[in-house]
């Protein structure tokens, strides 16, 4: 372990000590994944990984978190890169939101991610924020966790004792909560090969472009002979984690996109139990979810 300590004049100090907002922390800069796991394994509870910093740094500045040390994982080669293997796409945890928009491989093998990323915040945040950070942070209003569930992604985790893979639908367990164990690092995200005839729609409603969504939908559908053979409708901004509307999916099965909306929306309204927030109550969110499903089916019909 080779901790890289900032010079004293650059170290974060207590509020007021040097005009910095974040609490005092040690800054550690590992040179490999193994070294990062060693640093984390030794003191998992008092240590945080620093990826894009776009959620962590505001939380530090607001004193919502006071970790003893930050482990800066930027620059670790094992966590970067976008590659294709047999039609499946492997995205390193440090893939920036902006790369999801510009990557030809993402456009070809996981276009839903390329459609979703422009809705995340603003360009400066998209240039730093990472896919791994967004999934690990697990904000229920975030775009990428819902996409990961809709695409049936597998999340690759590493610890000092080994590696494991978790399906995205099992990864998120509550508001800002995942199955990541102390000492684990999210290293990559694997998106399986698209199903034949798969189409993707991404929609969200927010008060202003770049704001977190009041309600959003990551939708994939497999079209065979003009009917919906299978689909995944995953909502965000309405629950404690991405919400898959399984009854609406069942109502869509075997129908054409133009025939499906009424029955699917009725099933959706019955199954959703949205969590209202200060932007919109539960009834409003249930209504918005139906609006988005109708729009998604409309897009499918003309695509």
Ligand X SMILES: Cc1cc2nc3c(=O)[nH]c(=O)nc-3n(C[C@H](O)[C@H](O)[C@H](O)COP(=O)(O)OP(=O)(O)OC[C@H]3O[C@@H](n4cnc5c(N)ncnc54)[C@H](O)[C@@H]3O)c2cc1C
Instruction: Give the one residue of 142, 148, 189, 238 binding ligand X; rule: CB under 6 A.
Output: 142
Site stretch for ligand X (CB under 6 A), options 8-16, 21-29, 141-149, 270-278: 141-149
**Residue with Cβ nearer ligand X (51 or 268):** 51
**Residue with Cβ nearer ligand X (214 or 221):** 214
**Residue with Cβ nearer ligand X (99 or 244):** 99
List binders of ligand X among 182-201 (CB under 6 A): 185-186
Q: Is 15 an interacting residue with respect to ligand X (CB under 6 A)?
A: no
Site stretch for ligand X (CB under 6 A), options 9-17, 133-141, 246-254, 285-293: 133-141
Instruction: Give the one residue of 51, 191, 234, 260 binding ligand X; rule: CB under 6 A.
Output: 51
List binders of ligand X among 255-294 (CB under 6 A): none
List binders of ligand X among 92-131 (CB under 6 A): 93, 120-121, 125, 129-130
Length of the chain: 303
Instruction: Please report how close the Cβ of residue 88 comes to ligand X at its closest, in angstroms.
Output: 20
SS (H, E, C) the chain: CCCCCCCHHHCCCCCCCCCCCCCCCEEECCCCHHHHHHHHHHCHHHEEEECCCCCHHHHHHCCCCCCCEEEECCCCHHHCCEEEECCEEEEECCCEHHHHHHCHHHHHHCHHHHHHHHHCCCHHHHHHCEHHHHHHHCCCCCHHHHHHHHCCCEEEEEECCEEEEEEHHHHEEECCEECCCCCCEEEEEEECCCCCCEEEEEEEECCCCCCCCCEEEEEEEEEECCEEEEEEEEEECCCCCCEECHHHHHHHCCCCCCCCHHHHHHHHHHHCCCCCCCCCCHHHHHHHHHHHHHHHHHHHHHC
Q: Rounded distance, CA 256 to CA 163, Å?
A: 42
Instruction: Please report how close the Cβ of residue 16 comes to ligand X at its closest, in angstroms.
Output: 23
Interface characters, 150-189, with ligand X (x: CB under 6 A): ------------------------------x----xx---
Site stretch for ligand X (CB under 6 A), options 2-10, 28-36, 53-61, 261-269: 53-61
**Residue with Cβ nearer ligand X (99 or 143):** 143
- Interaction site with ligand X (CB under 6 A): 48-56, 58, 93, 120-121, 125, 129-130, 132-134, 136-137, 139, 142-144, 180, 185-186, 212
């Amino acid at each position: 372990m080779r901790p890289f300590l900032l010079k004293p004049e650059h170290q974060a100090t207590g509020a007021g000590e040097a005009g910095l907002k974040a609490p005092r922390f040690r800054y550690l800069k590992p040179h490999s994944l193994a070294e990062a796991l060693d640093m984390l394994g030794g003191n998992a509870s008092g240590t945080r990984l620093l990826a894009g910093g776009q959620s962590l740094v505001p939380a530090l500045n607001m004193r919502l978190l006071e970790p003893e040390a930050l482990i800066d994982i930027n620059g670790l080669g094992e966590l970067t890169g976008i590659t294709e293997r047999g039609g499946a796409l492997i995205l390193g945890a440090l893939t920036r939101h902006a790369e999801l928009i510009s990557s030809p491989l993402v456009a070809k093998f996981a276009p839903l991610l390329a459609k979703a990323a422009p809705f995340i915040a603003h360009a400066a945040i998209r240039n730093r924020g990472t896919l791994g950070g967004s999934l690990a942070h697990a904000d229920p209003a975030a775009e990428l966790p819902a996409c990961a569930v809709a695409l049936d992604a597998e999340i690759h985790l590493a610890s000092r004792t080994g590696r494991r893979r978790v399906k995205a639908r099992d990864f998120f367990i509550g508001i800002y909560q995942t199955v990541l164990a102390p000492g684990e690092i999210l290293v990559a995200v694997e998106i399986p090969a698209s199903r034949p005839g798969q189409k993707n729609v991404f929609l969200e409603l927010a008060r202003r472009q770049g704001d977190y969504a009041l309600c959003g939908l990551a939708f994939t559908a497999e079209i065979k002979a003009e009917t919906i053979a299978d689909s995944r409708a995953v909502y965000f901004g309405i629950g404690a984690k991405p919400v898959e509307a399984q009854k609406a999916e069942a109502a869509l099965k075997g129908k054409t996109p133009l025939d499906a909306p009424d029955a699917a929306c009725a099933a959706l309204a019955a199954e959703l139990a949205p969590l209202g927030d200060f932007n919109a109550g539960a009834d409003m969110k249930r209504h918005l979810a139906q609006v988005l499903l109708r729009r998604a089916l409309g897009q499918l019909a003309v695509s």
